[in-house]
Amino acid sequence: MGVDAGAVVRADSAAGVGEAGVAAAPGGAAVVATLAVAGAVLGLAAAGRVAAGGGAVGGTPVGLAAAPQAASRTEVGAAAPRITSDRRVSFPFIATPYARLVGGALEVATLRFEHRRETLGIGVARPRLSWTVRAEVPGWRQAAYELAVDGVRPPETTGRVASGESVLVAWPFAPLRSRERATVRVRVWGADGSASGWSAPAEVEAGLLDPADWTARFVGPTWPEDPTRPRPCPMLRREVELRGPAARARLYVTALGVYEARINGQRVGDHVLAPGWTSYRRRLRYQTFDVTPLLRAGRNAVGAILGDGWFRGRLGFRGGRRDVYGDRLALLAQLEVEYVDGSRETFATDDRWRAATGPIVASDLYDGETYDARLERDGWDQPGYDDAGWSPVAPVAWDLTTLVAPTGPPVRRTAEVHAVAVTRSPSGKPIVDFGQNLVGRARLTARGEAGQTVTLRHAEVLENGELCTRPLRLARATDQYTFRGGEAPETWEPRFTFHGFRYVEVDGWPGELGPGDVVAVVCHSDLERRGWFECSDPLLQRFHENVVWSMRGNFLDVPTDCPQRDERLGWTGDIEVFAPTATFLYDVAGFLESWLRDLAAEQDERGVVPYVVPNPLPNAYVPAAAWGDAATIVPSVLYERYGDLGVLAAQLPSMRAWVDCLANTAGARRLWDEGFQFGDWLDPAAPPDKPGAARTDPGLVATAYFARSAELLSRAAGLLGQADEAARYAELAAEVRAAFDREYASPNGRIVSDAQTAYALALQFGLIEGAARRAHAAARLVTLVRAEGHCVGTGFVGTPLILDALAAAGAWDDAFKLLMQRACPSWLYPVTMGATTIWERWDSLRPDGSVNPGQMTSFNHYALGAAADFLHRSVGGLAPAGPGYRRLRVAPRPGGGLTWARVEHVTPYGPAACRWRLDGDLIEVEVSVPPNTTAEIVLPGRDDGPVEVGAGAHRWRYVYAQERR
Ligand code: BGC
């Protein structure tokens, strides 16, 4: 994901010698040294780095050694995969030497519009502005800023504005008009009197902000199609005559279906599966591309290939549905050219376009793509091609008011993974092992005879040496390529499909298959990496790396449950539990903002949130706790992590509708204890075929979430200045809490479902009154965790809460024992089995090496990886204490035998870091606090209260009592 973050991070991290750190450091005999240094906090833990991204940890293959019996039935473990051209950023401070700010104590580092890195075609007239600074001044705080805008408009400036705000500041100028390009600069002053120069200019360009800007109409092929059979992908083209060279040209484009646009033989942009997946009937994204370099004076060919994608491909399980959004593919393209003389011309999809089928014979997200290279139409996207034999197109009716600009990044091809082995299965088929379970597709290169077909089948695991496709259920996940033939090698990668796989079985390969012949191409939303965690334990480190890989695989335009089987849906419960982890690891603000708008758009008139968003499922409109509560929880997490009040404002009606729906469902008793629930889904005690049969009462879970949602709604209303509404829902929340307490908690504080999830919910959501009762409940939770032998005893709902609940109860040892557990069920058990992603089930691969027989057995589900947020906040010790990390709470916690850990996060104010290391009897803690923020630091093992610090790098080294470890 974003390659540029490294530069931002390492440059941003400069900070002066932190006077505050020295002054506020705890005194007393235990403190051996207290230092606060510029930059030195960063880059010290490199020695402990393990092979991130690999199936091997610390050079030892994980799976086979730890689980020898597993090898007999199922292939696990592997050598580390070789990954090239990966757009991820590795640990920024380790990857690059720390650079001190040279020649100036203060400068603006970044200036952004909304949450976008790419600002061409922004969809709002008043994009909010955020900037970060590099400051060598310790404790630097902003006192004022000045913004200036330039462009075709008369220049404007705000003058000096006395304000400490630097994140999502309201656009202070006249609104942008459609297509308008503007350049913004900012300069800042510090409370200490420091002043920066003007920032580098940042450019923004508005997209088409008004439906009336569109002269194009959707057009599609007219040939008859049989929806019960695979439908070939249409190609559409038209030639246009430019009366001179273009000074500036934009292509505004989208499709009913997925598209790849082309101009004069070249691909437009590098998006994959554009326009992505939204609730199309209410929100359909269009993209804006700068196509100036692709055009020339005279004749130009403009074209596009269309695929079924989410629009009319198969969606959903048990056979699913096709044509969910419509049965006709169509293209909407508007090419706007501005000539050197300033005149303009627009070429838009209309009845002059022509259509034909081509080499993509079939394409489906679940089933894969079939390509016959003999059907290629050479030169079709070049001017001068004879399309006389092509069919006319016809308009396809669509409401253009649904068109919206993206708020998040597109899906891209972000890395290539090379095979670690090519083996032959017992049935004689070559199987390529990429050593990493990933999401994307395979690219092949070979020379074959015309008409010869290679078949690629994908799977996440092997069973008895053969591809194990049972977990894919009805997704065929099969790509087929038929050679065109000839002397030259042919290279092919499917366009309009993706698979979740580590293994590819290859059939029909011409000659001997070599390890370099098939390469895996990783695809996902091109989010910017924002967070890193490393520690001394290789298994825990690999667990974290697995969380990152599962996030990559399941952030493919929509936050999905899984990327491989006949599902891949935006399950609300999964992102509800994973949102805190996601917001830390990547910048998901724009991505989830878009998804939340879809969530709101999909709510029915009763406020019910469907199980999945966007929703292609029949019968999904039944309120389900922890799933539908994504409506309140995800916006609240975005506010907490990114300081985005706008997202709360935008989602408030949706949040309110959901809570009102719960109030209606629960009725006057305020107990939501009737009707269907997923409950503590996948409690490890539930049988494989009954994933909902949890130990915790589903009504208890639902009532707990009802209280939580009412509380979050009340807080959001309060933040938005709606005091009455805040009071009303605070009262509702109090009533629900009281009802919960009456119904589910004993006078002493025992909970009726005597299960870990029940206690974790009651404690973390604050549902029982009285300190003594809470202490009793906490003690009972600890007893239950111990009784389980510190194996995990929670499902979807309890898992993100259990470690925090134990920590809050002071049971850190138990939290660490649970975290570091290797026996099944535990977070590390899959790692011992060679997992390279997070599994759906605690035992997707069972200890005897067999694949779990349940109908749902994915090897790439991020939900249970939600524990990574505890690693970031508590083991690493970096948490927000104010919206958007304006204030940080840094409270690292050694334990579990760890000797060091480090965590870094690029907050909206710049990079923050915390690292601790045990060194004999000493501990060293280093903290980096971004400019314009403050932090409270809770030093491990010290009881003398939090230390207050300002921006800068701070270091403490002191005696750390053994018994505290
Ligand atoms: C999905 C889960 C989802 C669940 C809801 C499953 O099929 O994969 O992750 O949340 O259904 O019950």
Burial class (CB in 10 A: 0-12, 13-18, 19+), 386: exposed
743 an active-site residue? Answer: no
Ligand 1 pocket mutation pick from 565, 574, 683, 797 by most atoms within 8 angstroms of CB: 574
Residue closest by Cα to atom 4 of ligand 1: 571
Question: Which atom of ligand 1 lies closest to the CA of 863?
Answer: 9
Question: Which atom of ligand 1 lies closest to the CA of 678?
Answer: 12
- 107 has pLDDT over 70: yes
pLDDT (tens digit per residue) in 852-893: 988 889 999 999 999 999 999 999 999 999 999 999 999 999
Alpha helix ranges (H) inside 469-588: 538-554, 572-585
Q: How confident is the model at residue 136 (pLDDT cuts 50, 70, 90)?
A: confident
Q: In this predicted structure, what is the pLDDT of residue 41?
A: 29
Spatial distance between the Cα atoms of 430 and 512, rounded to a whole number of angstroms:
9
- Residue by residue, DSSP assigns 743-790 as HHB-TTS-BSS-SHHHHHHHHHTT-S-SHHHHHHHHHHHHHHHHHTTT
- 962 has pLDDT over 90: no
Q: In this predicted structure, what is the pLDDT of residue 936?
A: 97
Residue closest by Cα to atom 11 of ligand 1: 571
pLDDT (tens digit per residue) in 485-529: 999 999 999 999 999 999 999 999 999 999 899 999 999 999 999
Spatial distance between the Cα atoms of 252 and 381, rounded to a whole number of angstroms:
18
| Kind of pairing between the strands at 202-206 and 120-122 | parallel
Q: In this predicted structure, what is the pLDDT of residue 589?
A: 98
- 720-726 mean pLDDT: 98
Instruction: Tell me the β-bridge partners of 810.
Output: none
The CA-based angle 640-869-70, given to 5 degrees, is 155
Spatial distance between the Cα atoms of 359 and 377, rounded to a whole number of angstroms:
8
Least trusted range by pLDDT, from 61-65, 398-402, 467-471, 882-886:
61-65
Q: Tell me, using a 6 A CB cutoff, whether residue 862 lines ligand 1.
A: no
Q: Which two tokens stand for residue 330?
A: 């169509």
- 779 has pLDDT over 80: yes
Q: Tell me, using a 6 A CB cutoff, whether residue 573 lines ligand 1.
A: yes
- 201-208 mean pLDDT: 97
Ligand 1 pocket mutation pick from 366, 550, 561, 689 by most atoms within 8 angstroms of CB: 561
Question: Which atom of ligand 1 lies closest to the CA of 571?
Answer: 10
Q: In this predicted structure, what is the pLDDT of residue 603?
A: 98
In the chain, DSSP finds a helix count (H) and a strand count (E) of 19, 48
Instruction: Tell me the β-bridge partners of 135.
Output: 106
pLDDT (tens digit per residue) in 797-812: 999 999 999 999 999 9
203 an active-site residue? Answer: no
Q: How confident is the model at residue 105 (pLDDT cuts 50, 70, 90)?
A: confident
Q: Is 132 helix (H, G, I), strand (E, B) or coil?
A: strand
pLDDT (tens digit per residue) in 586-596: 999 999 999 99
Q: Report which residue type is found at 17.
A: V
Question: Which atom of ligand 1 lies closest to the CA of 317?
Answer: 7
- 22 has pLDDT over 50: no
Question: Which atom of ligand 1 lies closest to the CA of 627?
Answer: 10
> Are 432 and 419 contacting, i.e. CB atoms less than 8 angstroms apart?
yes
Spatial distance between the Cα atoms of 149 and 839, rounded to a whole number of angstroms:
49
pLDDT (tens digit per residue) in 295-333: 999 999 999 999 999 999 999 999 999 999 999 999 999
- What does the CA dihedral 722, 724, 725, 728 come to, rounded to 10 degrees? 150
Catalytic pick among 840, 904, 924, 926: 840
- 46 has pLDDT over 60: no
Least trusted range by pLDDT, from 59-63, 393-397, 481-485:
59-63
Chain position carrying tokens 């001179």? 244
> Are 56 and 48 contacting, i.e. CB atoms less than 8 angstroms apart?
no
Q: How confident is the model at residue 85 (pLDDT cuts 50, 70, 90)?
A: low
Spatial distance between the Cα atoms of 874 and 800, rounded to a whole number of angstroms:
13
- 92 has pLDDT over 70: no
Q: What is the DSSP letter of 630?
A: H
Q: What percent of the chain has pLDDT over 70?
A: 89
Spatial distance between the Cα atoms of 533 and 900, rounded to a whole number of angstroms:
11
This prediction has a pTM of 0.91
Q: In this predicted structure, what is the pLDDT of residue 86?
A: 56
pLDDT (tens digit per residue) in 24-40: 233 232 332 333 333 32
Q: Tell me, using a 6 A CB cutoff, whether residue 576 lines ligand 1.
A: no
Q: In this predicted structure, what is the pLDDT of residue 67?
A: 29
Positive or negative, the CA dihedral 847, 848, 850, 855 is negative
What are the start-end ranges of the E strands in 18-141? 31-35, 56-57, 60-61, 82-84, 106-113, 120-122, 129-135
Q: Which two tokens stand for residue 363?
A: 């394409």
Spatial distance between the Cα atoms of 879 and 903, rounded to a whole number of angstroms:
10
- 832-857 mean pLDDT: 93
Q: Across all residues in the chain, what is the average pLDDT?
A: 90
Q: In this predicted structure, what is the pLDDT of residue 151?
A: 87
Q: Tell me, using a 6 A CB cutoff, whether residue 574 lines ligand 1.
A: yes
pLDDT (tens digit per residue) in 359-411: 999 999 999 999 999 999 999 999 999 999 999 999 999 999 999 999 999 99
- 933 has pLDDT over 50: yes
Q: Tell me, using a 6 A CB cutoff, whether residue 503 lines ligand 1.
A: no
Q: In this predicted structure, what is the pLDDT of residue 943?
A: 83
